[in-house]
Amino acid sequence: MASTFGHLFRITTFGESHGGGVGVVVDGCPPRLPITVEEIQRDLDRRRPGQSQITTPRDEPDRAEILSGVFEGQTIGSPIAIVVRNTDARPSAYEAMKDTFRPSHADYTYEAKYGIRNWQGGGRASARETVGRVAAGAIARKVLAVSAEVEVLAYVKQVWTIGAAIDPGAVTLPAIEANAVRCPDAAAATAMIARIEEARRAGDSLGGIVECVCRRVPPGLGEPVFDKLEADLARAVMSLPASKGFEIGSGFGGTALTGIEHNDPFTSEGGRVRTVTNRSGGVQGGISNGEDIVFRVAFKPTATIAQQQQTVDRSGHAVTLAAKGRHDPCVLPRAVPMVEAMACLVLVDHLLRQRGQCG
């Protein structure tokens, strides 16, 4: 099972939704990086369940424990192991569904691949696995900030058909965190929250779009062929649970433009090469050009809903399923720190690779 991500800055996540805990091992982090458990905890608190009325009521404090790799407040170059204990696991809630394939879940495909699956909340396929990614992302974020002053911010751009008017170049963390849905457009956020609550009351769910902006990324990160920066970003965020689409810069909308309309003209500001527009989304030829990297990720509606659905069991018999358990009516608010984490992991890996190649 592939649970490792990255080349020089490598992470391996472990754990299941209703097991003893989840976590990550980070290998390749530079030594002497100042890091505290509180910095890691800040990002975990944004990901954790039970944080608002529009997220799952599962009550997990998600307290991080650093087991190795940090001494006297600094990394020491050895693998960093972080664990988060599961304290509110209720595997018995899934007992009645252990032989049933839940629609749009990984139940059937996981069993088809391995011949066995942990039916307690989805096991390894659960979004709880992302705890380790977010913890590792917090370390990657610190490397980026210290080494290159890179800032990575994600936010909810759309829920269902409710879109927000947001300038990626001006958005701030306080504006993102000002409401439960993590949308910096206050008017749109109010409408989004109301619609999510409506879906929750109906036993249904909603999807949407998370947008991410990466600022002050130095030019030159990425490779021109197979490890293009946007390709690695796409691979990273598309590995997140419920993700179904990726676009960068003008994305699919750029197909409606002509070449002269879409091209980003170059200019010079104080001797620094810049682009006048940023339809490329900060990446050209697979390599960062120094402009803001702006990309979007589409997330499907949460698969587990309270309404009755038709499915089959392991024997192929028709079953009417009324799913139980505690789930988000919309994954978008908690997906925000996950998207940030994966972006940070890609950028720090390419930053270290670039320094190894070119000094």
31-60 pLDDT, tens digit each: 999 999 999 999 999 999 888 889 887 778
pLDDT at 241 (0 to 100)? 96
Grade residue 94 by pLDDT with cuts at 50, 70 and 90.
confident
Give the mean pLDDT of 14-20. Answer: 91
Give the mean pLDDT of 280-301. Answer: 98
Give the mean pLDDT of 243-260. Answer: 98
For residue range 169-189, list pLDDT tens digits in order.
Answer: 999 999 999 999 999 999 999
pLDDT at 53 (0 to 100)? 83
Grade residue 18 by pLDDT with cuts at 50, 70 and 90.
confident
Q: What is the 3-state secondary structure (H, E, C) of the chain?
A: CCCEECCCCEEEEEECCCCCEEEEEEECCCCCCECCHHHHHHHHHHHCCCCCCCCCCCCCCCCEEEEECEECCEECCCCEEEEEECCCCCHHHHHHHCCECCCCCCHHHHHHHHCCCCCCCCHHHCHHHHHHHHHHHHHHHHHHHHHHCCEEEEEEEEECCEECCCCCCCCCHHHHCCCCCCCCCHHHHHHHHHHHHHHHHCCCCECEEEEEEEECCCCCCCCCCCCCHHHHHHHHHCCCCCEEEEEECCHHHHHHCCHHHHCCCEEEECCEEEECCCCCCCEECCEECCCCEEEEEEECCCCCCCCCEEEEECCCCEEEECCCCCCCCECHHHHHHHHHHHHHHHHHHHHHHHHHHHC
High-pLDDT (> 70) share of the chain, %: 98
Give the mean pLDDT of 292-319. Answer: 95
Distance CA 142, CA 30 (A): 11
pLDDT at 324 (0 to 100)? 64
For residue range 151-165, list pLDDT tens digits in order.
Answer: 999 999 999 999 999
Distance CA 118, CA 161 (A): 35
Grade residue 96 by pLDDT with cuts at 50, 70 and 90.
confident
Determine contact, residues 86/22, Cβ cutoff 8 Å: yes
Distance CA 229, CA 107 (A): 32
pLDDT at 297 (0 to 100)? 98
pLDDT at 323 (0 to 100)? 63
Grade residue 81 by pLDDT with cuts at 50, 70 and 90.
very high
Higher pLDDT, 321 or 33: 33
> Does position 209 have pLDDT exceeding 90, yes or no?
yes
Residues 6+ apart with CB under 8 A from 198: none
> Does position 198 have pLDDT exceeding 70, yes or no?
yes
Grade residue 286 by pLDDT with cuts at 50, 70 and 90.
very high
Work out the burial of residue 191: count CB atoms within 10 Å of its CB; fewer than 13 is exposed, 13-18 middle, 19 or more buried. middle
Mean pLDDT of the chain: 94
pLDDT at 131 (0 to 100)? 97
pLDDT at 52 (0 to 100)? 85
Domains in the chain: ranges and CATH: 4-358 (3.60.150.10)
Q: Torsion angle, CA of 34/151/65/14, rounded to 10 degrees?
A: -130
- Give the type of residue at 85: R
